Structure 1
Amino acid sequence: MPDRIIYHNINMPDRITLASVSGIIMAVIGFISYPNLFSPSPLPSDLSLTSPNGLICRAHQKMASIQPNAVSLFTILRLDTTQPPFVPTEACLYPYGENYEAARRAVSDAWMASYKRDGNDLVWRDVYALAAMVLLNDTTRTVYMKSVLPGMDGKKKGDGAWMKICDKYYREVEEK
C-alpha cells in the first residue's frame, strides 16, 4: 500500500519524465545486451558500445540501414537545429543553459510524436528511440552538436559524412 500512496503523490510531468527515463534505460540495456541487432558488422571493441561516439555511430548506422539518405538524428525526429531551442548551441547543451529544458522537451515531444506517426513499425521505432537516446543524454548531445553536426554541414549532409566520422572513431578505438 505505501508504494501506491507514493506513486499518487508524483505529479504528471514527473511521471512522464520517470517513464521516459525508464524507457531509455531499458533501451540502453537492450542495446548493450544484443549488439548485433543494430549492425551486421561487429564493433571493434566493447568501449564503442557505451562511449558517446559509439552510441552516435550506432544510431546513425541503424538509421542508414533503413533510410540511406537520412541527414541527422535531429532531422529523423523532424527537429531543426537552426531554430530555437537549439540555437544558440551552447544554450541548449548544459543544464545551466537558458534553452536546456526546452531542448530536452522538444526532443521528448518529437520522439513521442514519432511513435504516434510510425509506432507500429518496429524498425522505425528503434531508430527513433536511438536518436532520442543520443539527443536526450547531455554528454552524447554535446558531442553530437559540437563534433558531429559541424562535420555534416552544407552539401555533405546527404553523402555519408557521418560514416567518415564514425570510421575515424572506430580506427581510434582499435588502436587503443
Structure 2
Amino acid sequence: MKFEELSIRGAYLIELQPIQDERGFFARSYCNKEFKENGLNPQIVQCNVSYNFHKGTIRGMHYQADPYEETKLVRCIRGAIYDVIIDLRADSESYLQWAAVELTGDLRKMLYIPAGVAHGFQTLQDDTEVFYQMGNYYEPSAARGVRWDDPAFNIKWPLRCTNISEKDAAYGAFELQ
C-alpha cells in the first residue's frame, strides 16, 4: 500500500499496490504492520456499509466525542463519492481546516481518518456503496455532528444536495470549544 498524508494532520489517502496478471489483480487493502509503521491506529473493531440510491446525497459531518472517538478507514466500493473531513482537534495545526478526496469503486483508494476528525461525503453517482472499517465501537450517546453547509468551514461540495437525513440537516452551527 502507498500512504499519502493529506493537509489534515494524521489523515491519509491510501492507494492499493495491485499485482496484476491475466486473471486480474491481487492487492492488500489492510495490513496491521504497515499501518503501525506509518503511525496509524491499526485497530479495527467494527465494519459498516452505506448504500446510497441517488447522486447528490450527503451523509455527515459525523464524529464521536471523547472518550469514544474513532478512527475510520473509508473506501468507496461502488460508484463515487466526494469524501470530506474536518479537523476538530483543538491542539492540531490543521484545526478547523477541511480536506476532500474523490473515492471511486474503480480507483480503489481509501481514506484514513484520525480520531477527532469529522467525516462526511456526497455521492457523485447513483447506486453508490461505501465500506467503513472503524477503530472504535459506535456509541450513540457520543454521536456528534456539524452542519454540512456550516459557513465556519465553507466546504465546496461539487453538487447540489439532493438528499440528507433530518438528523444531519438539523445539526447547529459550529461553536468553538
Q: TM-score interval w.r.t. the shorter chain?
A: under 0.3
Q: TM-score, normalised by structure 1?
A: 0.26
Larger helix share, 1 or 2: 1
Q: TM-score, normalised by structure 2?
A: 0.26
Larger relative contact order (Cα-Cα within 8 Å, sequence gap ≥ 6): 2
Query: Which of structures 1 and 2 has the bigger CA Rg?
Result: 1
